[in-house]
Amino acid sequence: MKIPRLTWLILITAVVLGVATVVYLTERFPDAVDGEGKISLVYGVLLLALLGGSAILNRRRMPPGFMVYGIFAWLALSGVLFTGYTYRFELGQFGNRLLGELNPSGAISKPGGVTIQANQSGHFVVEAVVFNEGQAVPVRFLVDTGASDVVLSPRDAARLGFGAEGLVFSRRYRTANGTVLGAPVRLERISIGSVSVDKVRASVNGAPMGLSLLGMSFLGRLAGYDVHRESMTLRR
């Protein structure tokens, strides 16, 4: 069975491109393709060569040009996968931003913590789950690093079981709007995704407020937190 020169040329080109890809990835990403990664990469190239060889042996059973289209399809798929791997961090940030737009107060879980996207006003608003007296209540918080404690609005405090008759407004807080009174309480737990803090010091604000505040009595007990552009990361 005589194999046409064009078929040999296509096969040799595919093998050369495969070897060049292995060499490039090994030099460009030595950690990513070391050990088992390198074995997997070589296995993938050999599998591609096997498929190419099978296409050559069965070329008479295929429609004219099918093998050429198949090889170019494999090359295009490899290019897409390679591009996706190269820009994996940028694509991850884009995905986080997209999820943040779809659910502005939702935290995005990531290894070691969670990420919060800023809203259109540039503020970080997140929905947490607050545990108190055996119940779990979702509460939307405005992240406020300038607040010494977690501050609950009267409405959120009532949802958590803190009745006005049992509160003593004995704590004074200085704010931009003057001095306000708060009733000290303690929350069993505040959870934001995979980040949880137990026995959190908090207070119930004496006046109505739009959102409860996630202050330093929670943030200060984390492993850390930082802000990068429009994202805040809370590390557990």
Best mean pLDDT range from 63-67, 87-91, 107-111, 220-224? 220-224
Q: Is the pLDDT of residue 61 over 70?
A: no
- 3-state class (DSSP) for residue 17: helix
Model confidence at 48, pLDDT cuts 50, 70, 90, reads: low
The per-residue pLDDT for range 208-226, each reduced to its tens digit, is: 998 999 999 999 999 999 9
Q: What is the pLDDT of residue 34?
A: 47
Q: Is the pLDDT of residue 41 over 60?
A: no
> What percent of the chain is modeled with pLDDT above 70?
56
User: 201 with 129: CB under 8 angstroms?
Assistant: no
Long-range contact pairs involving 124-131 (C-beta distance under 8 Å, separation at least 24): 124/227, 124/232, 125/211, 126/192, 126/214, 127/192, 128/190, 128/191, 128/192, 128/214, 129/190, 129/191, 129/192, 130/156, 130/160, 130/187, 130/189, 130/190, 130/191, 131/187, 131/188, 131/189, 131/190, 131/191
Q: What is the pLDDT of residue 49?
A: 59
User: 128 with 135: CB under 8 angstroms?
Assistant: no
Q: What is the pLDDT of residue 167?
A: 92
Best mean pLDDT range from 56-60, 82-86, 128-132? 128-132
Record the pTM.
0.57
How far apart are the C-alpha atoms of 207 and 125, rounded to whole Å? 20
Model confidence at 100, pLDDT cuts 50, 70, 90, reads: low
Number of C-alpha atoms within 13 angstroms, CB side, residue 125? Answer: 15
Higher pLDDT, 134 or 90: 134
Higher pLDDT, 54 or 78: 78
Q: How far is CA 75 from CA 56, 69, 78, 175, 193, in A?
A: 17, 10, 5, 62, 40
Higher pLDDT, 163 or 48: 163
- 3-state class (DSSP) for residue 146: coil
Sequence spans of domains, the chain:
5-86, 104-235
The per-residue pLDDT for range 145-165, each reduced to its tens digit, is: 999 999 999 999 999 999 888
Rg of the chain in Å (alpha carbons): 29
Fold held by 104-235: Cathepsin D, subunit A; domain 1 (2.40.70)
Q: What is the pLDDT of residue 112?
A: 84
Neighbours of 54 (CB within 10 A): 11
**Averaged pLDDT for residues 129-139:** 92
Best mean pLDDT range from 18-22, 89-93, 137-141? 137-141
The per-residue pLDDT for range 179-210, each reduced to its tens digit, is: 889 999 999 999 998 999 999 999 999 989 98
The per-residue pLDDT for range 6-35, each reduced to its tens digit, is: 555 666 776 677 667 666 666 655 544 445
